[in-house]
Amino acid sequence: MKFDEAAVKAWVAGVLRGIYQPLPKEEIWEWAERTLRIPATENEELAGTLWSSSLTPYVRDLMRWVKRPGKGEFWIMKSSQVGFTMACLIIICWMIVHQPANTLYAINSVTEATRISKTRLKRWIEDNRLLDQVGEGSSDDLSNLTYTLRGMTVYLIGAHSAGAWKNKSIVLCILDELDEHEHLEGTGSTVNEARSRLKRPKNAKLIGFSTPGRMDHIHGLWEKGTQEEVHVPFPCCGHYQPLKWDALVFGTKEFRDLAGDYDREKIRLGAHFKCELCGKPFLDEQKRKAFQACRSVATNDKGNPAMRSLHLWDAYSPFVTFGDLALEWIDAQGDETLKEGFMRNRRGQRYERHGKELKHSDVLALRNPLYARGQLHFEPVLLAQLIDIQGDLQKTVKVAFDEKGDVFLIDWKETAYLEEAVDWAYDPVPGPADSEWIVTCGFIDEGHKMKEVREICLDHTPVFWPVKGRGDSQIQHLIATSEKWVRGDDYILTYHINEAQFKWQLLTLIADHKRRAEKGEMRLHLPHDVDEHDPIIAELCNERPENNPKTKKWEWKKKGPNDFWDCVKYGLALWSVMRPLIQREGATREYQLRPREEAVHH
Ligand SMILES: [Zn+2]
């Protein structure tokens, strides 16, 4: 083996400094608990206190494994808040002090890699003066993405860049957010690339973790491995049991009121796991203590033993309670986007979408015998109007929502002038028992007439609001707002919606109509007398998602005019703004519904 002078020097420096020498057999997590203080950028409340593994005791196992000699891989299919990124940063700190060896940390983008470097890893290293401990080197040696240290280099890279991987020999490789890593020219994936970089060193270790997502790598890797689960001793009788979603109790009679509806407060406090041995509950408040004695148990006999794999979800997270999880799941029912988010980010499970092509018969199946076009057969909690501008024409749709969130297309038309479309909002819609209803709020697509739309919205405050569809990469939240100047001292709040999310929601509302009816989930309805040649039928079929085989990204293709489709899409977005308000304050006819800033961040 080649004599690595720098590594020896670093080791000698550490030994000479005595106190930084590892205690015999001291584990990484024990060393970290004894010496590492938490930087303010990780957690302001805990800043300056010693890190402890007691919040996330399951990371100890990963740390033990890293320190053990021999090659191996460790794949973690996880939810979003279980603390593995931090665990890996601590492992890198330990390597710097105790076992210098080239380390590479890859995440989905260079921006993200820079952020992890500047606001996280560097803070751990500098706040804890790790470079002083190893004898030489100073903060100047830490450039943004490459740290040249004694005996080792730490690389932080954006995973998709084939160039960034070139000519790097590494001993420890960490792949974070693996399912967001793009296709890599040459080797195809970052996993292949990492494996080829780790071929030679005899203690090479590969750690990969991700919430299951678009590129769908982590699930397959988890499947091939040991498929470990974390077992916890239940406080009732000491029985060791994994926390499984199916064993989370929150839907039984004790959690419902007399009418059979969920009692949210009871669920928040009392959702629990049931002991499979004695039947007693395991409550959230007992979590932290019980977790200290947790252990990993392999469930896949056929798995490759050099490939450990683990599934961990938010029931194990110190930041989420059992009750929060149950309520979030209940709230996600009937909303495909929320459900997908819950499955991936909370349960750490794969969720597949199907890009169905809609047919006229799918749309005609939405016809509801209870009502005719232009009429309301119930008292809506919200009557809204959406306007889409296409060239010199406006297409506009009135939609009504009931408490469950069912969407009823009440009426629609095409107008030659924007004013005409807006004025239509004040034409009453006849409802039950001679009642009359006018639109309480609406969105107008800014399209290519931004200025005109903003002005007309201002003139019709608080009924109409400008809206704009944005791509996934342009908008972080489902919905965001920004204030725009219109004229003089007048500003208006404009809404930016994540288009793809609402397109998916609309697609599933149409495609899954029958299944949703069976399960009592939120549905979309058309009046029974809609003409099958009405342009709205074709327009609701004119958008289709296609999965790009290379990027695994869904791309929406337009087959023809889709303005009514856009209107309904904006209607779903409007509902997601209004729903929290309506649920909180209840809706009466007199109550002026209008979007507010506070209701927006979803
Ligand atoms: Zn028990």
- pLDDT 10s digits, 284-328: 999 999 999 999 999 999 988 899 999 999 999 999 999 999 999
The alpha carbon of 233 and the centre of ligand 1 are apart by a number of angstroms equal to 9
- Categorize the per-residue pLDDT at 45 as very low, low, confident or very high, splitting at 50, 70 and 90: very high
For residue 556, count CB atoms less than 10 angstroms from its CB and return exposed for 0-12, middle for 13-18, buried for 19 or more: middle
Does pLDDT of 8 surpass 70? no
Beta bridge partners of 409: 399
The alpha carbon of 301 and the centre of ligand 1 are apart by a number of angstroms equal to 27
The alpha carbon of 55 and the centre of ligand 1 are apart by a number of angstroms equal to 23
The alpha carbon of 231 and the centre of ligand 1 are apart by a number of angstroms equal to 13
Summarize the confidence of residues 98-113 as an average pLDDT: 93
The alpha carbon dihedral of 369, 373, 379, 383 has a sign of positive
Does pLDDT of 71 surpass 80? yes
pLDDT > 70: percent of the chain? 91
| pLDDT tens, position by position, 533-576 | 999 999 999 999 998 888 778 889 999 999 999 999 999 999 98
Does pLDDT of 17 surpass 50? no
Query: Who has greater pLDDT, 519 or 217?
Result: 217
The alpha carbon of 445 and the centre of ligand 1 are apart by a number of angstroms equal to 57
The alpha carbon of 251 and the centre of ligand 1 are apart by a number of angstroms equal to 20
Summarize the confidence of residues 489-507 as an average pLDDT: 90
Q: In this predicted structure, what is the pLDDT of residue 233?
A: 97
Give the pairing type, strands 152-158 and 146-149: antiparallel
The alpha carbon of 286 and the centre of ligand 1 are apart by a number of angstroms equal to 13
Does pLDDT of 601 surpass 50? no
- Categorize the per-residue pLDDT at 584 as very low, low, confident or very high, splitting at 50, 70 and 90: low
The alpha carbon of 76 and the centre of ligand 1 are apart by a number of angstroms equal to 28
The alpha carbon of 242 and the centre of ligand 1 are apart by a number of angstroms equal to 13
Q: In this predicted structure, what is the pLDDT of residue 182?
A: 81
Summarize the confidence of residues 217-233 as an average pLDDT: 96
The alpha carbon of 447 and the centre of ligand 1 are apart by a number of angstroms equal to 60
Q: In this predicted structure, what is the pLDDT of residue 20?
A: 47
| pLDDT tens, position by position, 428-461 | 999 999 999 999 999 999 988 999 999 999 999 8
> What CATH class does 5-224 carry?
alpha beta
Average pLDDT over the chain reads: 89
The alpha carbon of 240 and the centre of ligand 1 are apart by a number of angstroms equal to 9
Q: In this predicted structure, what is the pLDDT of residue 461?
A: 86
Summarize the confidence of residues 227-236 as an average pLDDT: 97
Pair of tokens at residue 185 = 């020219």
Q: How many CB atoms lie within 10 A of CB 246?
A: 6
Q: In this predicted structure, what is the pLDDT of residue 19?
A: 42
The alpha carbon of 392 and the centre of ligand 1 are apart by a number of angstroms equal to 69
- Categorize the per-residue pLDDT at 597 as very low, low, confident or very high, splitting at 50, 70 and 90: very low
| pLDDT tens, position by position, 119-143 | 999 999 999 999 888 876 666 667 7
In this structure, of 19-23, 66-70, 132-136, 145-149, the range with the lowest mean pLDDT score is: 19-23
- Categorize the per-residue pLDDT at 588 as very low, low, confident or very high, splitting at 50, 70 and 90: very low
Q: CA 23, CA 362: separation in Å to the nearest integer? A: 68
Does pLDDT of 390 surpass 90? no
Does pLDDT of 592 surpass 50? no
**CATH number of the domain located at residue range(s) 360-599 in this protein:** 3.30.420
The alpha carbon of 241 and the centre of ligand 1 are apart by a number of angstroms equal to 9
Domain limits, the chain: 5-224, 228-299+321-346, 360-599
Biggest CA pair distance of the chain: 92
- Categorize the per-residue pLDDT at 188 as very low, low, confident or very high, splitting at 50, 70 and 90: confident
The alpha carbon of 267 and the centre of ligand 1 are apart by a number of angstroms equal to 21
The alpha carbon of 274 and the centre of ligand 1 are apart by a number of angstroms equal to 8
Pair of tokens at residue 14 = 């550490």
Q: In this predicted structure, what is the pLDDT of residue 473?
A: 66
The alpha carbon of 375 and the centre of ligand 1 are apart by a number of angstroms equal to 57
Does pLDDT of 1 surpass 60? no
The alpha carbon of 428 and the centre of ligand 1 are apart by a number of angstroms equal to 61
Phi, psi of 227 (to 5 degrees): 50, 60
The alpha carbon of 84 and the centre of ligand 1 are apart by a number of angstroms equal to 29
| pLDDT tens, position by position, 325-375 | 999 999 887 677 788 899 999 999 998 877 888 999 999 999 999 999 999
The alpha carbon of 342 and the centre of ligand 1 are apart by a number of angstroms equal to 28
The alpha carbon of 290 and the centre of ligand 1 are apart by a number of angstroms equal to 12
Spell out the SS3 assignment of 411-440: EEEEECCHHHHHHHHHCCEECHHHCEECCC
Residue with tokens 């490939």: 307
Query: Which residue in 72, 70, 43, 40 sits closest to 56, CA to CA?
Result: 43
Give helix then strand counts, H and E, for the chain. 21, 26
The alpha carbon of 318 and the centre of ligand 1 are apart by a number of angstroms equal to 22
In this structure, of 160-169, 526-535, 580-589, the range with the lowest mean pLDDT score is: 580-589
- Answer whether 217's CB lies under 8 Å from 179's CB: yes
- Answer whether 425's CB lies under 8 Å from 439's CB: yes
